[in-house]
Structures are given as C-alpha cells and as structure tokens.
Homo-oligomer: A and B are copies of this chain.
Amino acid sequence: MSSNARPLSKKKIRQENERLILDAAEKVFAEAGFGGATMQLIADLAGLPKANLHYYFPTKESLYRQVVQTIFQDWLKAADIFDAAPGPVEGIGAYIDAKMEISRRHPAGSKVWASEVMHRAPVIQDYLETTLVEWTEDRMQVIQRWIDAGQMDPIDPRYLLYMLWATTQHYADFGHQIETLNDGKPLSNEQWEDAKNSVKAIILKGVGARPSKGT
C-alpha cells in the first residue's frame, strides 16, 4: 500500500538511527568487549555506513558510554519494587523476578555492564561512586528495617544484596555456560521458571523471611 516512501521527518530519522546504532552497539560490545568491538561491525549490524555512526556519535568511546549509561538506568529501575513491598517475601521475591526477567530479555546489556565493572569501570566510575552508593545504602536500610521488625534473620544486608545481584545476573553473564550444560539449548520457559523459583526458594528460606501478616 504505502510502498512509496513518505519522507521521514528529520526528528524521526535521528531517533530511528540512534536507536539502530545503540541496539547494534550493545550487542557487539557484549559479544566482543570494548576492545574487540569495531565500528565497522556495529555499522554492519545496524545497516548503516560507518561514517554515519561517527555523525551521531563522535567517537567509539562516546557510543560506548551511552550504551553503558542506558543499562545502568534499567539496572537501578529494577528495584523500585523493593521499596513498596511490605516485607522481605514480597520485596526480595519481586526483585529476583525482575532481575531474572532482565537477564532473560536483555542479556547483552547485562554482559556489557559486567564487562565494564570487571575492567574497573573506566567510563562510569563516577556513577558508581555517587548514584550506586546512594541506591545501595537506601536498599540496605529497607532490609535493615525488615530485620529490626523481626521479618527475617539478622544478616548483613550488604552481603544479601551482593548475593541477589550475583545469582540473577549469572543467568545472563554466564548464559552460554548454562546453555552448554543444557545440551546446547537455551533454557525453556519451564526451566526459567524452575531457575527463578529455586533462587527465590533458597534465598527466602536462607534469610528466614517470614510472610508479613495482615491482608
């Protein structure tokens, strides 16, 4: 029907192309690392000439920075649930659900993040020192309140958070290893459910989480 090309507005063009480039970049950075990724590879995957990438993102580093920042936002957002919860069963449970879902839907993003941190966070160290530190302290207080209220065992909230991050992100970062151990096939729907439930069951029981009373 509308096979005749209706001229795209400049604004749309920009949005569209930046989207294309960022998506391609995330994948390539995830699979090859910052050093191993090439602008040419990203350009090919995005279906654009290389020079065009440099029009939207002056340097490889600026493109990478943009990718990592976006991922960092998602990372933080996943924990909004945490605060609204009445107790650890709901809060921790929902957080695990959310992070497992991210690992499943956006493994590339998780890998880029892992890579960035493993390399001592060359581009987002300032974020770690400000935003992440604040964020972590807030969540630690929430957990501490649950402990004080007798809703779970007295465990240093710090190490519980690390455990939550580790167990959930593992399914993205080490997805290839898990796949190999699953006869080379990706986890099925049921397997993802099992994994999620296993993680939740072990951790919730492990911290002695007691269901909140009331409605």
Q: How many copies does the complex hold?
A: 2
Encoded as 1 (CB less than 8 Å from any B CB) or 0, chain A from 67 to 90 comes to 000000000000000000000000
Contact B119 A31 (CB under 8 A): yes
Number of interface residues of A (CB under 8 A): 55
| Chain B CB within 10 A, most for which of A35, A129, A194 | A35
Asked if A201 lies at the interface with its beta carbon under 8 angstroms from chain B, I say: yes
Q: Enumerate chain B residues within 8 angstroms of A136, measured Cβ to Cβ.
A: 181
Asked if A51 lies at the interface with its beta carbon under 8 angstroms from chain B, I say: no
Asked if A13 lies at the interface with its beta carbon under 8 angstroms from chain B, I say: no
Contact of A35 among B35, B155, B160 (CB under 8 A): B35
The distance from the CB of A32 to the nearest CB of chain B, in whole angstroms, is 6
Contact of A199 among B30, B163, B173 (CB under 8 A): B163
Encoded as 1 (CB less than 8 Å from any B CB) or 0, chain A from 155 to 186 comes to 11011101101110111011011101100100
Contact B35 A32 (CB under 8 A): yes
Contact of A170 among B33, B36, B125, B162 (CB under 8 A): B162
Name which residue of chain B comes closest to A205, CB basis. Answer: B206
Name which residue of chain B comes closest to A111, CB basis. Answer: B118
Using known A-B contacts A35-B32, A36-B35, A117-B176, determine if residue A202 contacts B170 with beta carbons closer than 8 Å: no
Asked if A128 lies at the interface with its beta carbon under 8 angstroms from chain B, I say: yes
The distance from the CB of A5 to the nearest CB of chain B, in whole angstroms, is 38
The distance from the CB of A186 to the nearest CB of chain B, in whole angstroms, is 13
Using known A-B contacts A118-B173, A162-B170, A205-B206, determine if residue A128 contacts B33 with beta carbons closer than 8 Å: no
Asked if A213 lies at the interface with its beta carbon under 8 angstroms from chain B, I say: no
Asked if A203 lies at the interface with its beta carbon under 8 angstroms from chain B, I say: yes
Q: How many angstroms between the C-alpha atoms of A132 and B176 in the bound complex?
A: 13
Asked if A11 lies at the interface with its beta carbon under 8 angstroms from chain B, I say: no
Contact A199 B118 (CB under 8 A): no
Encoded as 1 (CB less than 8 Å from any B CB) or 0, chain A from 23 to 54 comes to 00000001111111100000000000000000
